[in-house]
Each structure stands twice: as structure tokens, then as C-alpha cells.
Amino acid sequence: MITAEYALGTLAACAAAAVLYKVLSGGAVEAALRALIGKALGVHV
């Protein structure tokens, strides 16, 4: 039973990572991060 629980936990972690990747690689988030980094460094990107 423990092996199945580890397998489900690993699967859930991979699914959460995939969702997080999709959200962070979206255009709006990427643009916001670029603007924030550019503002912090004082450059326009």
C-alpha cells in the first residue's frame, strides 16, 4: 500500500509542476516578470 501512495504522491507532484509551468510560461505572467526585472535593473526590455 505504501508504494501506491508514493506513486500517487509523485503523480500529483508532477501534475502540480505541469500546471505551474503552464501558468508561469503564459504571456501575461512572462510580460509582468520582464517588466518587474527591467524596472528593478533600470533597463527597458
Per-residue pLDDT tens digits for 6-40: 999 999 999 999 999 988 888 888 888 889 999 99
| pTM greater than 0.75 | no
pLDDT value at residue 5: 94
C-alpha R_g of the chain: 17
The per-residue pLDDT for 6 is 94
- Cα dihedral sign, 13-19-24-29: negative
Size of the chain in residues: 45
Residue 45, pLDDT above cutoff 70: no
